[in-house]
Amino acid sequence: MVRNRVIFTGRVQGVGFRHATKMQARSYKVCGTVRNLKDGSVEMVSEGEPEEVARFIASVQDRMDGVIKETNLTIEDANGEFSEFTVLY
């Protein structure tokens, strides 16, 4: 298991990014969260098998390509704190 923390920058708030990401997560075996940050970026934390998490992140990048300017990925140790994928407000 792996945990990936991704910060997406660009015009990523106010465009349905969090909702779309949550809906996409249903197609993958991942758990985690997505939330807006005060600086206008979006943070997504996802846990799962490395290949599945990588495919999920790639699908989010592909779907939201028109609004993402930059993607910063940090790989961390999974700790199993999530049981589903949710939007944080």
pTM (2 d.p.)? 0.96
pLDDT band at 70 (very low <50, low <70, confident <90, very high): very high
Mean pLDDT of 1-24: 97
Catalytic residue numbers? 18, 36
Number of domains the chain is built from: 1
Coil, strand or helix: which one is 15?
coil
pLDDT score recorded for residue 10: 98
- CATH code at position 65: 3.30.70.100
pLDDT one-digit tens code per residue, 20-66: 999 999 999 999 999 999 999 999 999 999 999 999 999 999 999 99
The boundaries of the domain holding residue 75 are: 2-87
